[in-house]
Amino acid sequence: MSTFETIRPEPERTSNSSLYQQFARWMRLRVLPTGLFGRSLLIIVLPMVMLQIAVSIVFMERHWHMVTQRLTNGTTRDIAAIIYLITRYPEPDRVEETLDMAKARLGLIATIEPGKDLPPANTLSLFSLLEQTMGDEIETQIGMPYWIGIINEPTTPTMVDIRIKLHDDKILRVLVPRNETYASNTHIFILWMVGAAIVLITISVLFLRGQVRPIIALAKAAEAFGKGQKMPDNFAPRGADEIRRAGLAFILMRERIERQMEQRTAMLTGVSHDLRTILTRFKLQLALAGDNPDLAGLNEDVADMQSMLEGYMAFARGEAEEDLGKLDLRDLFQRAASEAEIYGKVLNWRLEGGPIANVRPNAFSRLVSNLISNSLRYANRLELNAKVDGKWLAITLDDDGPGIPAASREDVFKPFFRLDEARNLDTSGTGLGLAIARDIARSHGGNVTLEDSPLGGLRAIVRVPV
Would 424 be classed as within a structural domain? yes
Strands (E), 6-101: none
Chain-centroid distance of CA 247 in Å reads 23
Single residue among 148, 166, 184 that ends a domain in this structure:
184
Residue 157: the pLDDT is: 78
Residue 353 to residue 217: CA distance in whole angstroms: 30
Residue 449: the pLDDT is: 93
- Within this chain, do residues 327 and 449 fall inside the same structural domain, yes or no? yes
- Within this chain, do residues 285 and 362 fall inside the same structural domain, yes or no? no
Instruction: Give me the amino acid identity at 239.
Output: G
Asked if 379 and 345 touch (Cβ cutoff 8 Å), the reply is: yes
For residue 103, the domain's CATH number is 3.30.450.300
- pLDDT tens digits for range 235-244: 888 888 888 8
Would 202 be classed as within a structural domain? no
Residue 454: the pLDDT is: 92
- Within this chain, do residues 326 and 453 fall inside the same structural domain, yes or no? yes
Give the domain range for residue 279. Answer: 240-317
Residue 27: the pLDDT is: 67
For residue 346, the domain's CATH number is 3.30.565.10
Q: How many domains is the chain partitioned into structurally?
A: 3
Residue 78 to residue 84: CA distance in whole angstroms: 10
- Within this chain, do residues 457 and 334 fall inside the same structural domain, yes or no? yes
Would 300 be classed as within a structural domain? yes
Strand order in the sheet with 159-165: 109-114, 170-177, 159-165, 146-151
| Helix H or strand E segment including 351 | strand 346-352
Phi and psi at 158, nearest 5°, equal: -70, 130
- pLDDT tens digits for range 98-143: 899 988 888 888 888 887 778 877 655 445 667 778 888 888 888 8
- Within this chain, do residues 436 and 335 fall inside the same structural domain, yes or no? yes
Neighbours of 236 (CB within 10 A): 13
Nearest CA to 78 out of 54, 92, 98, 57 is that of 98
Asked if 339 and 368 touch (Cβ cutoff 8 Å), the reply is: no
- pLDDT tens digits for range 325-344: 888 999 999 999 998 888 88
Single residue among 317, 338, 371 that ends a domain in this structure:
317
Instruction: Give me the amino acid identity at 159.
Output: M
Would 69 be classed as within a structural domain? yes
- pLDDT tens digits for range 164-211: 988 777 889 999 888 777 766 666 777 877 888 888 888 888 888 888
- Within this chain, do residues 125 and 147 fall inside the same structural domain, yes or no? yes
- Within this chain, do residues 141 and 259 fall inside the same structural domain, yes or no? no
Nearest CA to 221 out of 213, 232, 237 is that of 232
- Within this chain, do residues 288 and 371 fall inside the same structural domain, yes or no? no
Would 213 be classed as within a structural domain? no
- Within this chain, do residues 288 and 358 fall inside the same structural domain, yes or no? no
- Within this chain, do residues 308 and 365 fall inside the same structural domain, yes or no? no
| Helix H or strand E segment including 65 | helix 36-88
- Within this chain, do residues 366 and 432 fall inside the same structural domain, yes or no? yes
Would 13 be classed as within a structural domain? no
Show pLDDT as tens, one digit a residue, over the chain (466 residues).
444 444 444 444 545 667 767 766 776 666 677 677 777 777 877 887 888 788 777 776 777 778 778 888 888 899 999 988 988 888 888 889 989 998 888 888 888 888 777 887 765 544 566 777 888 888 888 888 888 888 877 777 788 888 898 877 788 999 988 877 776 666 677 787 788 888 888 888 888 888 888 888 888 888 777 766 677 777 888 888 888 888 889 888 888 888 887 777 777 777 777 777 888 888 888 777 777 777 777 777 777 777 777 766 665 665 545 677 888 999 999 999 998 888 889 999 999 988 888 888 888 888 999 899 888 888 999 999 999 887 889 999 999 988 888 888 888 888 777 765 444 444 445 667 888 888 888 888 889 999 999 998 999 999 998 7
Residue 44: the pLDDT is: 79
Would 216 be classed as within a structural domain? no
Single residue among 184, 205, 223 that ends a domain in this structure:
184
Nearest CA to 401 out of 420, 425, 421, 422 is that of 422
Residue 281 to residues 269, 277, 461: CA-CA distances in angstroms? 18, 6, 43
Burial of 302 (0-12, 13-18, 19+ CB in 10 A): middle
- Within this chain, do residues 283 and 150 fall inside the same structural domain, yes or no? no
Would 50 be classed as within a structural domain? no
For residue 306, the domain's CATH number is 1.10.287
